[in-house]
A and B are shown apart, each in its own frame.
Chain A
Amino acid sequence: MNELVNFTIDKKECMSTKGKYLVDAAAENGIYIPTLCNITGIQPRGACRLCTVKVNGKLTTACTTPVYNNMEVENESPELQDLRKSIIELMFADGNHYCPYCEKSGDCELQAIAYRYRVTVPRFPYSFPKREIEAGHPLLAKDHNRCILCKRCIKAVKDDDGRSIFAFARRSHKLTISVDTRLSHVMSPEKAAYAAEICPVGAILLKGAAFKKPIGERKYDKKPIGTELEM
């Protein structure tokens, strides 16, 4: 069943199991492809577009593309690096990201990836949107300012009957995440903690738990994102 396939990423020979998603197959071969919406093991939904690569010359997302024999992948070309950098910049310009006093600072994947791509000033104008903070849920606070609409919470957090606790509302630039009030009131502390953890940014916050980890001990303080694969 587990058929092995050979493929290349930026001309480097790689090997993995057929059908595995390219991000995971790349990781097995010590190659980091950045993602913000992907969670390994959960059906992907290329939302953030950050893992965009070129497969046989065509743009596609590495989180949704299964590997096959003789696939040729372009990952770190200047064109793709700049594309990714601009997507990160778009996320900063589109929301209100106050890193210096954000509870997630140092553990935030968006921030860590922005450092990796050396984002300084976005090429896009800040839109300074007016967005809400929802504090009415017993265990969680939901800050729409920091939400990058990656969909992780929608896909990964369901109640025991498979109903959504988080879902999209509306469409276009009016798209937001809505939190089910009835379900958030009966949510277990473990589930709430999980939601806060998988949120790549500080958009889902566990009440009463902010700033627990001192600066210097946070996830990305010592090990920049991606380097765990590349050592």
Chain B
Amino acid sequence: MINSLNSIINKYDADPTRLMDILIDVQHKYDCISDEAVTFLADKLNLSEVDIEQTLSFYHFLSKETRGKYTVYLNNSAVAGMFGREAVAKAFEETSGCRFGEVSSDGLIGLFDTSCIGMNDQEPAAIINGTVFTRLTPFRVREIVNGLRKGLDPVDLQDVGLGDGNNNLDIIGAVVNNNIMKIGPVLSRDYKPGEAIRKIIQMSPEEVIREVKHSNIRGRGGAGFPTALKWEFCRNAPGSKRYIFCNADEGEPGTFKDRVILTELPLLLFEGMVVSGYAVGAEEGILYLRYEYKYLQKFLESILKMARRMRYLGKNILGKEGFHFDIRIQFGAGAYVCGEESALIESAEGKRGEPRDRPPFPVEKGYLNQPTVVNNVETLCAAVKVVLKGGEWYRKLGTHDSTGTKLLSVSGDCRFPGVYEVEWGFNVSQILEMVGAEEVQAVQVGGPSGTCVGPEDFNRTLCYTDLATGGSLIIIGKNRDLLRDIVLNFTDFFIEESCGSCTPCRVLTVMMRDKLQKILDGKGCSKDLEDLEDWGKLMRANRCGLGHTAPNPILTSLKNFRHLYEGLIPGKRGFDTGFRMEEALAEGRSLRLEQLKLQDHE
């Protein structure tokens, strides 16, 4: 073991800021990161054991115990639940002989839940040793587990046929589908690689920024910050080096459009990073890619190689003296909060993904304390089109304050889930019609962190000033139990994904969930609804967007679907009217029993 640990450490120059890569490689090689490995790494990297464990224990896909020869990560997002996850999970448990959270006694199969894996348009889905399985049924599960028992590799079990587009290439070979349903300027087929780079090297960096500024494009990752301004701040901030990060963490449940860009237009994205690097004066770009998309690694690396061959990357790009830029891929390891830009930077520095306090902002002090731009995948792709066709052209698309197009990830109860590129300014009704959704109870706009709207709001428009969205639209049909299937699931998601640093985010989310559960169990009173509203307000005191939005599933459904809550409160009572004697005494009884047992032993 020592030899291979050493070679992993040396691969990353024994650099503690590359701890994520090191841990991921160790996990890959040994199915776990043992105590022995932790001690060895600590000594080699001049860290303490708890330093290593601080990072290790933060991430969902890293573990100290082995998780089985084949590790099944079954998505537990709300939409997976809507499409039969329960039966699939049961089939996994029956066939492998262990429960979720456990490894089968022969060590062959481990079963684990995981937050949304970016396949909401083809659920239920799971990842088994890096291979993605979509549209699972109990029947498929039995086939898969039996195949694994026979010694087949997960890759060989994709006998339902590979997906569309590049998913079909040998180098990806995934059963995943792109489901591109509507094409616009970003996804259009007229993309000619290198054209934008050829154009910008004739311009000054300031001119590039000016063009992007004129387009009025804003960030597509959710926060909507003006892109040109971000680049300008970074360019002007003092620092010895500058960095461009592409945020491909795509963890918001129900979002999968970045996956489709990464699969079909990776070169467009890399070109966007080069453009941004040129504008900002950076020489290093990092694609922070969520671990769930590791099946795209070989493909993306081959595209990077090609880009270097074409001289889109490297030294003196396309012959432009002094214009150097290259890109590396940094994997995450399972943490939604790492999509928050400062947490993403912490993670890329080998630490737990805990968001930073602001100020300073990443554009002033980001990666390794240097000025850093973090942009979403789609933002960078759109920027290429802006550079090519001009800011004037771009600002004519969309609305006055939300220019251009937006890629929507549509999932849930509709006939045509998938990716739609539409101009900003569509209203919810139009979109529902476009995607073939009828009998709609609610639409979750912007994922769990967004807003749950009902029919009275379907005339509202998608734009930064009304219904802002990073692109996730989850459609919830009339037959669904909104509070149990959606709101509770989303609240659990935030509980699981909080970094835990801020007191309200760590503690209050759990208390709000418990209160919701109390109401669902028919034990609520109207005071509970007031409590939920009051407690939700306290979440504004948290440090980052995760904590600010964590109460949204409850708060927005309480606002727009209050009758569902009220309907669960027996006799509309205003206070707790009783308790069950048996339950109230249960804990005391069990302690007493334990005590008696101890006495018997003595």
Query: Interface of A with B (CB < 8 Å)?
Result: 44-50, 52, 59, 61, 64-66, 83, 86-87, 90-91, 93-94, 123-125, 127, 148-149, 151, 159, 161, 163-175, 178-183
Q: Of A148, A171, A173, A175, which is in contact with the most chain B CB atoms at under 10 Å from its CB?
A: A171
Chain A CB within 8 A of B47 CB: yes
B53 touches A47 (CB 8 A): no
For window 151-175 of B, CB contacts with A under 8 Å fall at none
**Would A171 and B543 count as touching, CB distance under 8 A?**
no
User: For A48, what are the chain B residues with a Cβ–Cβ distance below 8 Å?
Assistant: 502-503
The verdict on B335 contacting chain A, using a C-beta distance below 8 Å, is yes
State whether A83 touches B48 (Cβ < 8 A): no
Contacts of B498 in A (CB 8 A): 171-173
Name A168's contact: one of B47, B54, B531 (CB within 8 Å): B54
From the candidates A149, A163, A179, name the one contacting B506 in the complex (CB within 8 A): A149
- A-B interface contact total, Cβ < 8 Å: 127
Cα distance A125–B535 when bound, in Å?
12
Task: Give Cα A180–Cα B47 distance, bound, in whole angstroms.
Answer: 11
A179 and B50 alpha carbons, distance in the complex (Å): 7
CB of A59 within 8 A of CB of B540, answer yes
CA distance A180 to B51 in the complex (A): 9
| Residue of chain B at shortest CB distance from A61 | B357
Chain A, Cβ-Cβ closest to B54: A167
Residue of A nearest to B47 (CB): A163
Kindly provide the distance from the CB of A24 to the nearest chain B CB, expressed in whole angstroms. Answer: 15
- Known: A49-B502, A125-B514; 12 extra A-B contacts, CB below 8 A, are A46-B357, A48-B503, A149-B501, A164-B48, A169-B50, A170-B500, A171-B57, A171-B500, A172-B506, A173-B506, A173-B507, A175-B500
Contact A86/B54 with A93-B507, A181-B49 known, Cβ cut-off 8 Å: no
Give min CB distance, B139 to chain A, whole Å: 35
CA of A47 to CA of B504, assembled, Å: 10
Any A CB within 8 A of the CB of B499: yes
Instruction: Using CB atoms, name the residue of chain A closest to B45.
Output: A163
Q: Is the CB of B359 closer than 8 A to any CB of chain A?
A: yes
- B323 at the A/B interface (Cβ < 8 Å)? no
Chain A to chain B: the 5 pairs with minimum beta-carbon distance, closest first:
A175-B500, A167-B50, A163-B48, A64-B357, A167-B54
Residue pair B48, A169 in contact (C-beta under 8 Å):
no
Task: State how many angstroms separate the Cβ of A20 from the closest Cβ of chain B.
Answer: 14
17 pairs across A/B with beta carbons < 8 Å? A49-B503, A87-B538, A94-B503, A124-B511, A125-B511, A149-B500, A164-B51, A165-B50, A167-B54, A168-B500, A169-B53, A169-B57, A171-B58, A171-B352, A172-B497, A179-B50, A182-B48
Q: Find out whether the CB atom of B502 lies under 8 angstroms from the CB atom of A47.
A: yes
CB distance from A84 to the nearest CB of B (A): 9
Q: Report whether A90 and B50 are in contact in the complex, using a CB–CB cutoff of 8 Å.
A: no
Residues of B70-93 whose CB lies within 8 A of A: none
Within 8 A of A (CB), among B531-545: 531, 535, 538, 540-543
Q: Tell me, rounded to whole Å, the shortest Cβ–Cβ distance linking B94 to chain A.
A: 29
Whether B46 is near chain A, meaning CB under 8 Å from some CB there, is: yes
B510 at the interface (CB under 8 A from A): yes
The answer to whether B48 touches A167 (Cβ under 8 A) is yes
Q: Is the CB of B359 within 8 A of A66?
A: yes
A161-B46 in contact given A167-B53, A172-B497 (Cβ < 8 Å)? yes
Does B496 interact with chain A (Cβ within 8 Å)?
A: yes
Complex interface: chain A residues within 8 A of B126 (CB): none
CB atoms of A90 and B508 under 8 A apart: yes
Do A159 and B541 contact each other (CB < 8 Å), given the known contacts A171-B500, A173-B510?
no
Q: A52-B541, A59-B541, A178-B53 are in contact. Are A171 and B335 (CB under 8 A)?
A: yes
Q: Is B374 an interface residue (CB 8 A)?
A: no
> Do the beta carbons of A173 and B46 come within 8 Å of each other?
no
Per the 8 Å Cβ criterion, residues 497-528 of B in contact with A are 497-504, 506-511, 514
If A90-B504, A90-B508 touch, whether A49 touches B541 (CB-CB below 8 Å) is yes
B351 to chain A, nearest CB (A): 10
**Residue B569 is within 8 A (CB to CB) of chain A in the complex:** no
Are B503 and A90 in contact, with the CB atoms below 8 A? Answer: yes
A169 contacts which chain B residues (CB < 8 A)? 50, 53-54, 57
CB B282 to nearest CB in A, in angstroms, measures: 26
| Known contacts A125-B511, A170-B58, A173-B510; is-contact A180 B48 (Cβ 8 Å) | yes
A77 to chain B, nearest CB (A): 14
Q: B46 — nearest CB in chain A belongs to which residue?
A: A161
What distance in Å separates the Cβ of B303 from its nearest Cβ neighbour in chain A?
33
The reply to whether B352 and A163 form a contact with Cβ atoms under 8 Å apart is: no
Min CB distance B531 to A, Å, is 8
**C-alpha gap A144/B478 in the complex (Å):** 46
Pairwise interchain contact A49-B542, C-beta atoms closer than 8 A = yes
Chain A residues with Cβ below 8 Å from B335 are 171
C-beta contact mask, B465-509 vs A, less than 8 Å → 1, else 0? Answer: 000000000000000000000000000000111111111101111
Tell me, rounded to whole Å, the shortest Cβ–Cβ distance linking A216 to chain B. 31
Nearest Cβ in chain B — how far from A53, in angstroms? 10
Known contacts A83-B541, A168-B352; A173/B503 CB under 8 A: no
Q: Which residues of B contact A167 (CB under 8 A)?
A: 48, 50-51, 53-54
Shortest beta-carbon distance from B270 to chain A in Å: 32
Cα distance A170–B58 in the bound complex, in angstroms:
5
Q: How far is the CA of A49 from the CA of B507 in the complex (A)?
A: 13
Give Cα distance in the complex from A91 to B357, angstroms. Answer: 21
**Residues of A close to B542: CB separation below 8 A:** 49
Whether the pair A94, B495 counts as a contact (CB closer than 8 A) is no
Query: Does B541 lie within 8 Å of A87, measured CB to CB?
Result: yes
CB closest residue in chain A, given B548:
A59
Q: Which residue on chain B has the smallest CB distance to residue A86? A: B538
The docked-state distance in angstroms from the alpha carbon of A159 to that of B49 is: 12
In the complex, the chain B residue whose C-beta lies closest to that of A50 is: B503
- Give the distance to chain A from B487, nearest Cβ to Cβ, in Å: 19
Taking a contact as CB atoms closer than 8 A, the residue among B50, B497, B540 that contacts A164 in the complex is B50
* CB < 8 Å neighbour of B54 from A52, A164, A182: A164
Inside 8 A of B357's CB, which chain A residues have their CB? 44-46, 61, 64
CA distance A90 to B510 in the complex (A): 11
Nearest Cβ distance between residue B340 and chain A, in whole angstroms? Answer: 13
Partner pick for B48 among A50, A124, A165, CB 8 A cutoff: A165
Closest CB in chain B relative to A59 CB, distance in Å:
6
B50 to chain A, nearest CB (A): 4
**Chain A residues in 8 Å Cβ range of B46:** 161, 163
Q: Which residues of B (329-361) have their CB < 8 Å from a CB of A? A: 335, 337, 352, 357, 359
Residues in A with CB closer than 8 Å to B57 are: 169-171
Bound together, the chains give a CA A153 to CA B511 distance in angstroms of 27
Bound-complex Cα distance A99 to B461 (A): 54
Q: How far is the CA of A161 from the CA of B274 in the complex (A)?
A: 39
In the bound assembly, the distance between CA atoms of A52 and B51 in angstroms comes to 29
**Interface set, chain B 13-57, CB cutoff 8 A to A:** 46-51, 53-54, 57
